[in-house]
Structure 1
């Protein structure tokens, strides 16, 4: 990661208590760039970091955080996709090692605006959270 990328606002849009945007390095970057040493502490943080990984086209992080029961063999990114923002609508712990996050991700592809609304399911195994699947609305 380049030094100036550390200072950029995090793509996930998380803010400080004073409503200032968090820098990538202080937000999702610490999980994406240091997956082995610092996994996301909860399902919402994992979901946000996965959004940031999609924005940054980081297939290795996305694969590593996808539960093996659902993980695709490969990921392809559309070069014409421009991510516009993320809104977390709900975060619920559903069990000792499970949680759900409802979100809306907005992006533009080929000039067309897209709104993806999903309730994602996550599990925690051996201290690491994984994306399992989601239901789109």
Structure 2
């Protein structure tokens, strides 16, 4: 009799794949050797959303949670264009802060951002809950740039 393996957690980005087969592969490649491998601007945006979502899912007071926070913050900073990159402290939830728990992502538009492009935009809406249980809805038109084969988030215009 073979025991069934537990199902892998679904990726927060909404593609319907297991986390290790979706955005987790980009996070794992970076954690293993610093490789930034997302092939398109949309893939990078989804992996960044997933990193933010994972920040809201873990308890940073535990060892596993602290490791996840450190890994996701490192990934977010590495995927951010140097001229607009925030400090790690700006991305790390403080002890008295409860990060937004992101629950859903909808990509509504992409322009460029393919494997042979050098620029691209992705418009998305992220839904979640704040610390008080209130609904959060954020729509952003994000700009990306590819240099040396690596996509990076440059900046975005947030609407709500």
SS in 2 for 1:130: strand
Aligned Cα root-mean-square deviation (Å): 2.0
1:32 aligned onto 2:27: yes
After TM superposition, the structure 1 = structure 2 runs for residues 102-113 of structure 1, keeping only pairs within 5 Å, are: 102-109=123-130, 110-113=132-135
Q: Number of matched residues?
A: 128
8 Å CA contact 2:23, 2:50 repeated in 1: yes
Q: Which has the larger radius of gyration?
A: 2
Q: Identify unmatched segments of 5+ residues in structure 1.
A: 15-20
Q: Which has the higher strand share?
A: 1
Partner of 1:18: none
Q: Which has the higher helix share?
A: 2
Q: Identify unmatched segments of 5+ residues in structure 2.
A: 56-71
8 Å CA contact 1:32, 1:49 repeated in 2: yes
Counterpart of 2:102 (choices 83, 90, 104) is: 83
Q: TM-score, length-normalised on structure 2?
A: 0.74
TM superposition outliers: structure 1 runs of 4+ over 4 Å: none
User: 2-side partners of 1:103 and 1:80: how far apart?
Assistant: 19
Counterpart of 2:150 (choices 105, 128, 132) is: 128
